[in-house]
Chain A
Amino acid sequence: MTLKKKQTIFTAAVLLVLLLASMALDATLPSYHIAITCVKKATVYALVAVSMNLLNGFTGLFSLGQAGFMLLGAYAYGVLCIPVAKRAGVYQYFDGGLIQFSLPEIFAGFLGDTIGSTVGMLVALAIGGLLAAAMAYLIALPVLRLKSDYLAIATLGFAEILKAFFQWNALGPITNGSNLLKSYPSFEKGTSYILLAGAMIAIIVLLINSTYGRAFKAIRDDEVAAEAMGINLSKHKRLAFVISSFFAGVGGGMLAMYNGTIAAAPFKSALTYEILLIVVIGGIGSITGSVLASFLYIFSSEWLLRGLDSGTFLGINAPGIFKNGFRMAVFSVIIMIIVLFFRKGIMGDRELPDLLVRRNKKSRKEAAGK
Chain B
Amino acid sequence: MRELIPYLINGVSVGGQYALIAIGYTLVYGILRLINFAHGDVFMVAGLVMVYATASMPIYLAIPLALIATVILGFTIERVAYKPLRTAPRMSLMISAIGVSYLIQNLAFYLTGGVPQPVNNPIPWISDTVAIFGASTKRVTIITPFLTIALVIVLVYLINHTKIGMAMRAAAKDFETAQLMGIKINSVISMTFVIGSFLAAVGSMLYFTNYPSVAITSGGMPGLKAFVAAVFGGIGSIPGAVVGAFIIGLCEEIIKGLGYTTFSDAFTFALLIVILCVKPTGLFGEKVTDKV
Contact = CB atoms under 8 A, between A and B. Distances in A.
A135 B113 CA distance: 39
A153 B266 contact: no
Interface stretch (B60-68, B139-147, B206-214, B220-228): B220-228
Contacts of B220: 269-270
B263 A168 contact: yes
B262 A164 contact: yes
Nearest to A162: B266
Contacts of B80: 340
Nearest to B90: A148
Given A148-B91, A152-B94, A167-B262, A335 B272 contact: no
B103 A149 contact: no
A154 B276 contact: yes
Interface in A230-253: none
A254 B292 CA distance: 43
A229 to B, nearest CB: 14
Interface string B71-114: 00000000011001100101110111011111100110111011
Contact of B272 (A157, A168, A324): A157
Q: Is the interface of B mostly helix, strand, loop or mixed?
A: helix
Contacts of A6: none
Given A276-B95, A336-B99, A146 B276 contact: yes
A164 B266 contact: yes
B256 interface: no
Interface string A274-295: 1011001000100000000000
Contact of B276 (A150, A167, A274): A150
Interface residues on B, range: 35 or more
A191 to B, nearest CB: 32
Given A142-B273, A340-B85, A332 B102 contact: yes
Nearest to B273: A154
B107 A332 contact: yes
B270 interface: yes
Nearest to A321: B110
B106 A328 contact: yes
Contacts of A165: 266
Contacts, number: 123
A86 interface: no
A212 interface: no
Given A157-B228, A164-B265, A325 B102 contact: no
A164 B114 contact: no
Interface in A128-184: 142-143, 145-146, 148-150, 152-154, 156-158, 160-161, 163-165, 167-169
Interface residues of A, number: 46
B266 A340 contact: no
B110 A156 contact: no
A36 B241 CA distance: 50
Given A325-B106, A328-B109, A339 B95 contact: yes
A364 interface: no
Given A325-B109, A343-B88, A164 B231 contact: no
B269 interface: yes
Contacts of B116: none
Contact of A161 (B85, B103, B269, B292): B269
A367 interface: no
B82 to A, nearest CB: 10
A142 B94 contact: no
Interface in A79-97: none
A323 interface: yes
B280 interface: yes
A56 B265 CA distance: 26
B77 to A, nearest CB: 11
Interface string A62-73: 100000000000
Contact of A160 (B33, B91, B107, B269): B269
A158 B273 contact: yes
A145 B277 contact: yes
A153 B227 contact: yes
Interface in A319-337: 323-326, 328-329, 331-333, 335-336
Specify which of B103, B111, B224 lies most central, judged by the most chain A CB atoms within 10 Å of its CB: B103
B35 interface: yes
A187 interface: no
Contacts of A303: none
B109 A149 contact: no
A349 to B, nearest CB: 14
29 contacts: A142-B273, A146-B276, A149-B94, A150-B231, A150-B276, A157-B224, A157-B269, A157-B270, A157-B273, A164-B262, A164-B266, A168-B262, A169-B262, A269-B220, A270-B220, A273-B98, A274-B102, A277-B98, A323-B110, A323-B113, A324-B114, A325-B109, A328-B106, A328-B109, A329-B103, A329-B107, A332-B106, A333-B103, A340-B84
Interface of B: 33-35, 80-81, 84-85, 88, 90-92, 94-96, 98-103, 106-107, 109-111, 113-114, 217, 220, 224, 227-228, 231, 262-263, 265-266, 268-270, 272-273, 276-277, 280, 292
Given A154-B273, A331-B106, 6 more contacts: A153-B35, A164-B262, A164-B265, A325-B111, A329-B110, A340-B80
